[in-house]
């Protein structure tokens, strides 16, 4: 029994996540209390799109705490700016923002929201190295599962920060989180899930906060 618990503890300890944050600063930043930012997911690619749940997760975390930053909800912003931030029409370069701000209605709405920075989030979580198998049986006397499964998750997200006042990309932050998950089944399956995307979200949000404040 001790050996089983030892094995479970070892797997629990190893079902953790490694997160690496890289920051590349290209300009000065800073934000006033009356200013806000908006986080937008890139969705122009055909093979993947940045999940809105991840964008919301980063926004919620930036909106928390004593050093919180006012984050405009993504869908509210995209609807208010329609049709300029749809997957096919969204500006791809920070200099494109200058052309967009020539539209009086867009400039007025950006000013109304008090937006200082537009942050583009681009990335996804991929699962690889699935191994193992679990079989379950059920009979008159009861049922149960036996086996073992394991897989690796890798979340890689870029955050590009555009300064709305200067139309310059002031920096890029990359969050890369990896983790191994395990699913041993001894009568009942016991999921030991590495919270890879959640860790990428919290690490990226913390770094983005510091970046925007200019720390």
Partner 1 sequence: MTVQGNYPSPNITRIPLTVGVYYDEALKDFAYIEYTDNGKEEYRVLSGPSHMALFGSVLPAMFDRVVLLPDPAQAGTAGVDLVFTPAIEEFQLALPQKTRLDAYEVWVKYNMRLTAPDGGYIADWVLTAYGKTSLETMRSAESGINDATISALRDLGSNFALSFTDIPDVRDWLNSNQ
Q: Which of 49, 96, 152, 154 binds partner 1 (CB under 8 A)?
A: 49
CA distance 61 to 57: 6
The first and second tokens of residue 180, run together, are 């191994």
Query: Is residue 145 involved in binding partner 1 (CB under 8 A)?
Result: no
Of residues 152, 213, 215, 201, the one with CA closest to residue 21: 201
Binding part of the chain for partner 1, among 14-22, 80-88, 130-138, 203-211 by CB under 8 A, reads 80-88
Question: Of 14, 68, 95, 105, which one interacts with partner 1 (CB under 8 A)?
Answer: 105
Judged by CB under 8 A, how many residues of this single chain contact partner 1?
Answer: 16
- Nearer residue to partner 1 within complex by CB, 38 or 161: 38
Q: Is 103 in the site for partner 1 (CB under 8 A)?
A: yes
Q: Assess 79 for contact with partner 1 (CB under 8 A).
A: yes
Can you count the helices (H) and strands (E) in the chain? 6, 6
Give me the residues paired with residue 23 across strands.
Answer: 173
Report the phi/psi class of residue 168: left, alpha or beta, with left for phi > 0 and alpha for psi in -120 to 50.
beta
| Chain contacts with partner 1 (rule: CB under 8 A) | 49, 51, 79-84, 86-89, 103, 105-106, 109
């Amino acid at each position: 029994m001790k050996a089983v618990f030892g094995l479970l503890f070892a797997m629990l300890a190893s079902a953790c996540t490694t997160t690496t944050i890289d920051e590349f600063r290209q300009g000065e930043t800073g934000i006033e209390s009356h200013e806000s930012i908006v986080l937008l997911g890139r969705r122009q690619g055909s093979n993947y799109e940045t999940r809105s749940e991840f964008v919301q997760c980063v926004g919620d975390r930036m909106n928390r705490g004593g050093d919180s930053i006012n984050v405009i909800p993504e869908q509210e912003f995209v609807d208010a700016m329609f049709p300029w931030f749809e997957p096919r029409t969204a500006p791809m370069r920070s200099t494109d923002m200058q052309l967009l701000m020539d539209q009086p209605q867009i400039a007025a709405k950006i000013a109304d929201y008090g937006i200082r920075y537009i942050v583009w989030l681009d990335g996804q979580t991929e699962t690889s190295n699935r191994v193992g198998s679990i079989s379950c049986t059920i009979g008159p006397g009861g049922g149960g599962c036996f086996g073992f499964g394991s897989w690796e998750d890798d979340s890689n997200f870029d955050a590009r920060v555009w300064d709305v006042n200067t139309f310059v990309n002031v920096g890029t932050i990359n969050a890369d989180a990896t983790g191994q998950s395990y699913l041993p089944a001894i009568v009942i399956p016991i999921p030991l899930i590495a919270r890879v995307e959640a860790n990428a979200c919290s690490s990226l949000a913390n770094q983005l906060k510091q970046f925007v404040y200019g720390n």
